[in-house]
Structure 1
């Protein structure tokens, strides 16, 4: 397995680690996503160039916490956090 493949599997594993509330290992509530980002990416979020965008992202996650995000949706969110960095 390549290093990138290992990292991708790690992302999937962490995603599933936080998916308890929804009862579905392939979905996260917005609250779970917020908890995951806060716990797993604290330095990335703190050191981003666009703090306003991070703030808006967290406001969006606070609204309607019961909406479920798939791994695909979560990866798009993580990619946007990476771009903000």
Structure 2
């Protein structure tokens, strides 16, 4: 678990290139490169822009680390629900 947390942090920091927030293009690249295996439409720029707008709580056009963590929580929750659903299907 420790390495997963470190990966989440270093992925953000690498994508933001030392800046406090991710720009729209940096967010798009991060999603496409790192989340395409667990999310749909990561190659669709309009879908990723819509996702960014949904995460951007302060409406500054950028994704802060806290807003990024909201996305990570959403993805983790979705994966958990899929796994629980597939386990329920397998036991029937």
TM-score range, shorter chain: 0.5 to 0.7
Find the counterpart in structure 1 of residue 39 from structure 2.
45
Q: Is the 8 A contact 2:28 2:49 kept in 1?
A: no
Q: Secondary structure at the match of 2:16?
A: coil
Find the counterpart in structure 1 of residue 77 from structure 2.
83
Using the size of structure 2 for normalisation, the TM-score is 0.58
How far the C-alpha of 1:57 sits from its partner, in A, is: 5.0
Greater RCO (Cα-Cα under 8 Å, separation 6 or more): 1
Structure 1 gaps of 5+ residues are none
The answer on 1:11 being equivalent to 2:5 is no
Task: List 4+ stretches of structure 1 deviating above 4 A.
Answer: 54-57
Q: Rg bigger for which structure?
A: 2
Number of aligned residues: 70
What is the RMSD of the two structures over their aligned residues, measured on CA atoms? 2.9
Structure 2 gaps of 5+ residues are 54-59, 80-92
Q: Secondary structure at the match of 1:82?
A: helix
